[in-house]
Amino acid sequence: MDILKARKKSAEQKQSRKKEKSSQPIDTQPEKEESTIPAVIEPTCVVIPPEDSALITHTPVAEESAGETLIGDESAAKSVDEIELLSFRLGGEAYALPVKDVREVLKIRALTLVPNAPPYIRGVTSLRGMVLPVIDLCTRIGLSPGVRDEKSRIIIVNSEDEDVGLIVDRVTGVVRIMPDAIKQTPENIEQGTAFLSGIVRKDEVLYILLDLKKAAGK
């Protein structure tokens, strides 16, 4: 009898559970579909380290407008106006002549004497097939004989479309001056004033400028 009661009670419990399930409301809403809209991806900020800064391209700065003076133009124009002089020594004094008139500078060499030539013409020399007269500038200007050693030079110049050699004690270099720095030859220079074109002072040195046309002329 106990077994029959237990089975009956179990059947009643099952029936009761069925009734409870059937009494619950049915969800009639359709299942949500997955969204097909892609997710928005936030942009990534890339930081360039200092050592890679050379990879960055900079926009060039616009050029200055026409008519304005750029930095350095004034100094460039000034250098164009400068005169270059070849400086040399004669009788203990500093002389100079325009570099534009100088062909080349030669070491002292043996000269061929010219009969009946003026005393200031020391002879002639051959240079690349051309025969050139060589003038002793000290004698030409009226100075006492200068030093003649391994440092003495012959300056080949062009005067009136003719090449002429000028013997000097030694060549000292090239100096640059402005045209307005040239002064008139002072009256206290007694020797050779007819062959001079002026004086100029540069770096505490007084240079006597040679009038090439007169000094190298006949």
Does residue 174 contact residue 192 with C-beta atoms inside 8 Å?
A: no
Residue type, 123: G
Identify the three-state secondary structure at position 214: helix
pLDDT at 172: 95
Share of the chain above pLDDT 90, in %: 50
Q: Which residue has the higher pLDDT, 122 or 71?
A: 122
Q: How far apart are CA 173 and CA 79, in angstroms?
A: 18
| Mean pLDDT score of the chain | 75
Does residue 175 contact residue 202 with C-beta atoms inside 8 Å?
A: yes
Q: How far apart are CA 114 and CA 122, in angstroms?
A: 8
Q: Which residue has the higher pLDDT, 121 or 67?
A: 121
Q: Is the pLDDT of residue 62 over 50?
A: no
**Look-up: residue for tokens 């080349």?**
104
Average pLDDT of the residues in 35-48? 41
pLDDT digits (tens, 9 = 90+) for 135-170: 999 999 988 887 788 999 999 999 888 999 999 999
Q: What domains sit in the chain, N to C, each tagged with a CATH number?
A: 74-215 (2.40.50.180)
pLDDT digits (tens, 9 = 90+) for 91-114: 889 999 999 999 999 999 999 999
How many angstroms from the chain centroid is the CA of residue 90?
A: 36
Average pLDDT of the residues in 80-101? 93
Average pLDDT of the residues in 47-67? 37
pLDDT at 81: 85
Give every CB contact of residue 25 below 8 A, 6+ residues apart in sequence. Answer: none
Average pLDDT of the residues in 9-19? 63
Q: How far apart are CA 159 and CA 155, in angstroms?
A: 12
Total Cβ atoms within 10 A of residue 96: 25
pLDDT at 43: 40
